[in-house]
Structure 1
């Protein structure tokens, strides 16, 4: 099972990714985590990433794809993986396709979380309020201003990724505003239809 969870921040991708990895025993691949791991392990690509970051620059798509390629070669990813937060741009989606094709692999599905952005902002504000009331630190990206900036960035950069996968016939829309268990049920139904897991 090779799967992408695609949608704006706060849509519930992380929650659903956790359920998928528990149910199917495949890893969740987060580019941020993979990048930190590659740097810590001083892999060839990790060293290149470190140089770029030390220079205060953004890591290129080429390096990010190299890190994903390195990670899917590991034993725990051979049965499949869940990509969450990647690809973030059309260029990354195209590069991911080429990289998978070179390994005779393909994506089984792209789950596209569809949301009402205003309701999503309200959801994040509520989450921040409840976290604060519980005496816990609020995530920096859960403040309304930061969250709205992240939504804008998603619209500008990542919104083109959905149509790319829709054109290929592998994107499946789900209601990201539905209750968590309902969303899980929708994803399970798509996987039963699309994937032999």
Structure 2
């Protein structure tokens, strides 16, 4: 099973590249935001728990998000793999994801981060804001804050995957197809083997 973590600041092109990767590798897209909204809409136990916390202005705890990812994995047992969007954002989340995937006899294959300088991100998002309707795409101060939060959150996560030799940073500026080919070249180096699955299982038992 091929499991990708695709990272990048707002405006780096993750959405575009995610769709191409999903089609190319036959992956299931796991967006934690989408999972939250779906669970809330369905009125599940996890969804109701998350909604109560969100209504109180509190963050949804990691164990609830992990529970939702677990449900999604169980619902897609025939999938060739998953692409994780918006998760993990912290080292404890990355550790929890490793444990969960090992319970499903799989593991994160690699993390790819699209790197784009801040000024280019601001330019892209302000342009996107003209059509997206999103207020946070139309305010430069808010855009810079989102980029700052991303940089703060992901630095340690990048280090976590780098220690596992799974982290790859790529230039997010260029032709969409060229960037896609670069991502594929990285991903193809991490195509899982049966030994990888056994190793993941052994690690969680240890």
Task: Report the equivalent of 1:92.
Answer: 93
Cα distance in structure 1, aligned partners of 2:32 and 2:105: 22
Cα distance in structure 2, aligned partners of 1:91 and 1:22: 30
- Checking the alignment, whether the CA contact within 8 Å between 2:109 and 2:192 is kept in structure 1 is no
Task: Report the equivalent of 2:33.
Answer: 32
* Alpha-carbon offset, residue 110 of structure 1: 0.8
- Checking the alignment, whether the CA contact within 8 Å between 2:28 and 2:79 is kept in structure 1 is no
- Judged with a 3 Å threshold, the aligned counterparts in structure 2 of structure 1 residues 176 and 51 are, in CA distance, closer, same or farther, namely same
Give me the TM-score of the superposition, normalised by structure 2.
0.84
Give me the TM-score of the superposition, normalised by structure 1.
0.88
Task: Report the equivalent of 2:169.
Answer: 173
**Cα deviation 1:146-195 (Å, max 9, x = unaligned):** 21111111122222111110111011221112221111000111122221
- Judged with a 3 Å threshold, the aligned counterparts in structure 2 of structure 1 residues 16 and 137 are, in CA distance, closer, same or farther, namely closer
Aligned length: 191
Task: Report the equivalent of 1:72.
Answer: 73
- Checking the alignment, whether the CA contact within 8 Å between 1:26 and 1:77 is kept in structure 2 is no
Aligned pairs for 1:34-53 (under 5 A) are 34-53=35-54
Cα distance in structure 1, aligned partners of 2:118 and 2:77: 35
Cα distance in structure 2, aligned partners of 1:116 and 1:137: 21
Task: Report the equivalent of 1:17.
Answer: 18
RMSD: 1.9
Q: Which runs of 4+ in 1 moved over 4 A?
A: none
